Amino acid sequence: MNESKSEIQSFYKNKIIFITGASGFMGKVLIEKLLYSCSDLNKIYILMRDKKGEQLLMTLTLTYVIVVTLLKPNLQKLFQRIRTEQPQVLKKVIPFNGDICSDNLGLTDEEREQLINEVNIIFHCAASLRMNAKLKDAVEMNMNGTKRILNLGKEMKHLQAFIHLSTAFCHVDQKEVGERIYDTSNNPEDIMRLVQCLDEDTIDLITPK
């Protein structure tokens, strides 16, 4: 007799998911949990950057565990229960070679159309967590990168949910941060335009130390 499915499992049944930041701390855990607990999902597209010096082969037949093994071999343990109990679900993970800091996310036109026509759910987990990152780099990844994903989501024909996993370092001027949307004293579009126009030396001069 089949076990009854939870409301969450029923929601994810046959869904097609797109995840950025798949090789990050939360991204890996998210993928493992989705594959193990919601194995009736259709497929998961992941956007991964081909890092310099790493032999990362991106093909549609490449499983996520192989990708993880190439990047960080010690992460195989995270997927051990899947490999032991239901290894077939690993074939549902399809990596795309791309970068949220690149125009068109570094995707080919064919890959972009594939996402637009198929995806139901986006998990945007990619972000720069470096506290000492240059402001220009942080804005490019955390703001412009997020805007690129949002623009892609607006084109998707069957999108049902967009989940943005923010960094833990937002609103550092607040002593306590609650689970709510905070107003900002600056227009994000103005900040992105300003950083794009100024050189790094000028940005460093006006950045609070």
Task: Beginning with the edge strand found earlier in the chain, give each strand of the sheet holding 43-48 in spatial order.
Answer: 93-97, 43-48, 16-20, 121-124, 161-164
Q: Is residue 2 over pLDDT 90? A: no
Q: Is residue 163 over pLDDT 60? A: yes
> What string of DSSP letters covers 119-152?
--EEEE------TT--HHHHHIIIIIHHHHHHHH
Backbone angles phi, psi at 178, to 5 degrees: -95, 175
Quick count: other Cβ atoms within 10 Å of Cβ 164?
14
Q: What is the pLDDT of residues 39-85, one digit of tens each?
A: 999 999 999 876 554 444 444 334 555 555 544 555 667 778 888 89
Strands 161-164 and 16-20: unpaired
pLDDT for 112: 96
HSE of 50, CA atoms in CB hemisphere, 13 A: 12
* C-alpha gyration radius of the chain: 19
What domains appear along the chain, each with residue ranges and CATH number? 9-167+183-206 (3.40.50.720)
The pTM of the full predicted model, rounded to 2 decimals, is 0.83
- Yes or no: say if 151 and 105 are a contact pair by the CB < 8 Å rule: no
**Rounded CA gap, 174 and 85, in Å?**
45
pLDDT for 97: 86
pLDDT for 22: 86
Q: What is the pLDDT of residues 85-134, one digit of tens each?
A: 988 888 899 888 899 999 999 999 999 999 999 999 999 999 887 777 78
Question: For residue 198, which amino acid is it?
Answer: L
At residue 147 the predicted structure's pLDDT band, cuts being 50, 70 and 90, is very high
Lowest model confidence (mean pLDDT) among 33-37, 141-145, 165-169, 173-177 = 165-169
At residue 168 the predicted structure's pLDDT band, cuts being 50, 70 and 90, is low
**Rounded CA gap, 139 and 145, in Å?**
8
